[in-house]
Amino acid sequence: MADNKNLEGMIDSTPIMKDYADIESSKLPEYQIDSKIPEGPLAQKWTNYKAHQKLVNPANKRNLDVIVVGTGLAGASAASTLGELGFNVLNFCIQDSPRRAHSIAAQGGINAAKDYQNDGDSVYRLFYDTIKGGDFRSREANVYRLAEVSNNIIDQCVAQGVPFAREYGGLLANRSFGGAQVSRTFYAKGQTGQQLLLGAYASLNRQIKKGTVKSFNRREMLDVVIIDGRARGIIVRNLVTGEIERYAAHAVVLATGGYGRAFFLSTNAMGCNGSAAVQAFKKGAYLANLAFTQIHPTCIPVHGEDQSKLTLMSESLRNDGRIWVPKKKEDAEAIRAGKKKPTDIPDEDRDFYLERRYPAFGNLCPRDIASRAAKERCDAGFGVGTGNAVYLDFKYAINRLGEDVVRDRYGNLFDMYQMISDDNPYETPMMIFPASHYTMGGIWVDYELQTSIKGLFAIGECNFSDHGANRLGASALMQGLADGYFVIPYTMQNYLSDQIKVPHFTTDAKEFDEAEKAVRARIEKLMNIKGTKSPDQIHKRLGHVMWDLVGMGRTLQSLVKALDEIEEVRKEFYTDLRVVGRADDLNTELEKALRLEDFLVIAKMMAIDALNRNESCGAHFREEYQLADGEAARNDKDYMYVSCWKYTGDNEKPVLLKEPLNYTEIKVQTRNYKS
């Protein structure tokens, strides 16, 4: 959206791209993408789809097997709902119980267009806010459907007994999140993800008891098995015994979450990984929009090299907290040197930079903008703490509402902060800094959430579909549950309807033999490197490369450098990795090594995708492409497409495919959170 004046003199990385990827083939007919968006006006598409899709009758459902990998909000809700419908479901997770999936850690809330607050909300407005928040890089029809089913999710969860926060009158309470001017976020203290996941887990348990779902814990998928062009099973490693196991089904659903741990330090759980996405990629599924990684603005800053993960402080804190840094550089320096305390700085010497730059949305501007603004202040020398931190201050809310009200709203978050930082946020402002949190990019899916491999579906964070270049707060839970409860149970039937004559698969097929052989060879290879570096040591090195060069601000130079350095890390991995223990045994080091090998693939694809996108949009900020006021310079003429990458071989260039984004019902505009 930049005017031409601003685009002048910018560097186009397209010629350099050709060294890393085949970007010309996207014009060839065999690389055209069909996103299967139904006919009709936007608001009618999902209704029309449901009215005309093919169904599977109850007697036939019993004869169809579905594998669901993952038990987070998307995986658990899909597995339980498919089980309720009568399919035979096989459900896998890497943790010791389905209830541990990382959705459990989501704090703030879940959006829905209920308009219970009578503040002007509607399905259209939720749809529009989501598209706009995503900087016009998401698929219109998917996002509209998401907004449409959002209300069903709240109804469903209340019926399950999810204890959402309520008003004294007994009705559901709401709060506000970034990127919206209405209050549409439903919540359960700072533990919304936990309560929604336990709701889905309860439904899942009911199906497990009924026998429609079989649950496999401590199992990690290591490959997807393709027979005659269709996904027909998976190869998994039993994490307790080290055995390699085979499972067959008529269709496979991936609900394996995001790959944010490519940065090593992130808010993701220790086990979160991008391996299923990489396995699907290597079997022919496209990976899309990998440049779009959400760097969440309010996390507890890094304390040292031995740190294993970063902790998020919920976005809901921005409802009442005010973000600032000192106005004067000497104050910032004095604070960093320990000579001044934040409480020593009078209000007039505080720079509430979000309120200053974005008066209309203030502290509640979207995450990408808030993160970048924090980085800008810290890079300019106004950071506090180690220099990479800003303040989130509740003094004003406590003065306005009283400490009790603030405690009631955020008590558990304040306790969590104090536990980690040893500071009392009721008395001194919190210190926060952005961290890798969520990946908008992921496995490409069509409107039916089917990947480019027949019978292989991807739902929740692991697909790319709904958040464009930036996800709004409280929309991840919404998408996970929308996909699992309300989308895949329908669209799956459209696929399975012509599979009813296909008998139950066995795992004796030669394709299973080959896939298992390849998995064993891969493990053998890693065990036999016998170098000197642990997987964590190499992963940390990769993390530094990704954070420094493919992080919040990227440039042509940084991305080219990143690709070189990722290659160096890859070499180190294959020549100097040490995996202690045995392969056919419980081996946590081997688990880490296998995941890291896949992170190396994802990391490279993230850098390539970022290099290809010669524009700034949402979370993808190419420093060459900014307007005079520092805002993102989007280029709709050349980049209003989903960048999809097709694997062609470990040492071959991936092929770029483009899915054009056509907006029929909205006017594409420059994102404006100022007025």
Partner 1 sequence: MEHTINVNLKIWRQRGPKEPGSFQTYRVENVSTGSSFLEMLDMLNQQLVDRNEEPVVFDSDCREGICGMCSLYINGHPHGPVQGITTCQLHMRKFNNEDTITIEPWRSAAFPVIRDLMVNRNAFDQIQQAGGYVSFNCGGAPDANNLPISKEVADVAMDSATCIGCGACVAACKNGSAMLFVSAKVSQFALLPQGQVERARRARAMVRKMDELGFGNCTNTGACAAECPKNIPLSNIARLNREFVKAKFAD
Q: Active-site positions?
A: 367
Measured from the CB atom, the residue of 205 and 670 that comes closer to partner 1 is 205
With binding defined as CB under 8 A, does residue 427 bind partner 1?
A: no
**379, 551 contact by CB (below 8 A):** no
Measured from the CB atom, the residue of 158 and 518 that comes closer to partner 1 is 158
**31, 657 contact by CB (below 8 A):** yes
Q: What is the 3-state secondary structure (H, E, C) of 58-93?
A: HHHHCCCEEEEECCCHHHHHHHHHHHHHCCEEEEEC
Choose one: 243-251, 427-435, 509-517, 533-541; the region binding partner 1 (CB under 8 A). 533-541
With binding defined as CB under 8 A, does residue 99 bind partner 1?
A: yes
User: What residues from 622 to 661 belong to the interface with partner 1 (CB under 8 A)?
Assistant: none
Residues 129, 633: Cα–Cα separation, whole Å: 20
User: What residues from 553 to 592 belong to the interface with partner 1 (CB under 8 A)?
Assistant: 578, 580-581, 586, 588-589
Burial of 168 per CB tally in 10 Å (0-12, 13-18, 19+): exposed
With binding defined as CB under 8 A, does residue 229 bind partner 1?
A: no
With binding defined as CB under 8 A, does residue 529 bind partner 1?
A: no
Measured from the CB atom, the residue of 418 and 670 that comes closer to partner 1 is 418
User: What residues from 121 to 180 belong to the interface with partner 1 (CB under 8 A)?
Assistant: 152, 154-161, 163-172
With binding defined as CB under 8 A, does residue 534 bind partner 1?
A: yes
Measured from the CB atom, the residue of 77 and 479 that comes closer to partner 1 is 77
User: What residues from 37 to 96 belong to the interface with partner 1 (CB under 8 A)?
Assistant: 77, 80-81, 84, 95-96
Residues 490, 53: Cα–Cα separation, whole Å: 8
With binding defined as CB under 8 A, does residue 420 bind partner 1?
A: yes
With binding defined as CB under 8 A, does residue 337 bind partner 1?
A: no
User: What residues from 175 to 204 belong to the interface with partner 1 (CB under 8 A)?
Assistant: 188-189, 191, 193-195, 198, 201-203
Of 438, 465, 436, 460, the residue nearest 289 (C-alpha): 465
User: Minimum Å distance from CB 270 to partner 1?
Assistant: 5
Site track 205-224 with partner 1 (rule: CB under 8 A), x = hit: xx-xx-----x-x-------
Site track 303-322 with partner 1 (rule: CB under 8 A), x = hit: xx-xxxx-xx----------
**446, 34 contact by CB (below 8 A):** yes
Residues 508, 494: Cα–Cα separation, whole Å: 27
Q: How many residues bind partner 1 (CB under 8 A)?
A: 80
Residues 70, 86: Cα–Cα separation, whole Å: 19
User: Minimum Å distance from CB 300 to partner 1?
Assistant: 10
With binding defined as CB under 8 A, does residue 419 bind partner 1?
A: yes
Measured from the CB atom, the residue of 215 and 614 that comes closer to partner 1 is 215
Choose one: 14-22, 301-309, 468-476, 544-552; the region binding partner 1 (CB under 8 A). 301-309
User: What residues from 378 to 417 belong to the interface with partner 1 (CB under 8 A)?
Assistant: 415-416
Measured from the CB atom, the residue of 526 and 562 that comes closer to partner 1 is 526
User: Minimum Å distance from CB 80 to partner 1?
Assistant: 7
Which of 22, 55, 116, 411 contacts partner 1 by CB under 8 A? 116
Kindly state the DSSP code that residue 134 receives in the 8-state scheme.
T
Burial of 332 per CB tally in 10 Å (0-12, 13-18, 19+): buried
Which of 98, 258, 460, 618 contacts partner 1 by CB under 8 A? 98
User: Minimum Å distance from CB 149 to partner 1?
Assistant: 11
Q: Which two tokens stand for residue 35?
A: 């996103």
With binding defined as CB under 8 A, does residue 501 bind partner 1?
A: no
Which of 7, 16, 269, 509 contacts partner 1 by CB under 8 A? 269
- Phi and psi at 236, nearest 5°, equal -125, 160
Tell which phi-psi region holds residue 537, choosing left (phi > 0), alpha (psi between -120 and 50) or beta.
alpha
In Å, how far are 333, 382, 424 from 326, measured between CA atoms? 9, 6, 20
User: Minimum Å distance from CB 101 to partner 1?
Assistant: 8
Measured from the CB atom, the residue of 160 and 181 that comes closer to partner 1 is 160
With binding defined as CB under 8 A, does residue 275 bind partner 1?
A: no
In Å, how far are 104, 112, 115 from 150, measured between CA atoms? 19, 5, 12
Of 179, 247, 168, the residue nearest 214 (C-alpha): 247
Burial 200-215 (b: 16+ CB within 10 A, else e): bbebbbebbeeebbbb
Residues 276, 283: Cα–Cα separation, whole Å: 11
With binding defined as CB under 8 A, does residue 102 bind partner 1?
A: yes
